[in-house]
Structure 1
Amino acid sequence: MKEQLRRVSPLEFDQDKRSQLMLLVCDEGAISCATFRKLQEDIANSGMRTVLAIPDKQYQKGFRGWAKVQVLSSIADRLEGVMPIDYETARQELGKNWAIIRINGPVTWGEIETITQSETEEAPLHIAETADPFDRTMIDRAKKVVETSNCWQDPAGCVFVKDGEVLIESASTSFNNSNCEGIPINFRELPLNPGERMHFCDSLHAERVGVAEASKRGVSLEESTAYLTKFPCRSCALSLISAGVRTIVFGQDSYGLGEVADLFDTNKIALKRLTS
Structure 2
Amino acid sequence: MNKKNVEFLKDQIKYTGFGEGYESQLNEKIGKELKEFQLLNRTEFGNDVVVSRLDFSRSESSDLYFFNRYELTFRPPHSQELMSQTFQIGKENNITQKEAYNLLSGRSVFKEYSKMEKDLIQDKYVTTGEKYNAWTQLNFKETDKYGNYKFQTFGDNYGFDLQQALEKLPIAELGDETTAARLLQSLQKGNLQSVNFVEDGQLQQHFLAANPRFKSVDVYDMNLNKLYLNQQQGKEQINSQAASLENKTPRPRVKKSGPTMS
- What band does the TM-score fall into relative to the shorter chain? under 0.3
**Higher relative contact order structure (alpha carbons within 8 Å, sequence separation ≥ 6):** 1
TM-score, length-normalised on structure 2?
0.24
Structure with the higher helix share, 1 or 2: 1
Structure with the higher strand share, 1 or 2: 2
TM-score, length-normalised on structure 1?
0.23
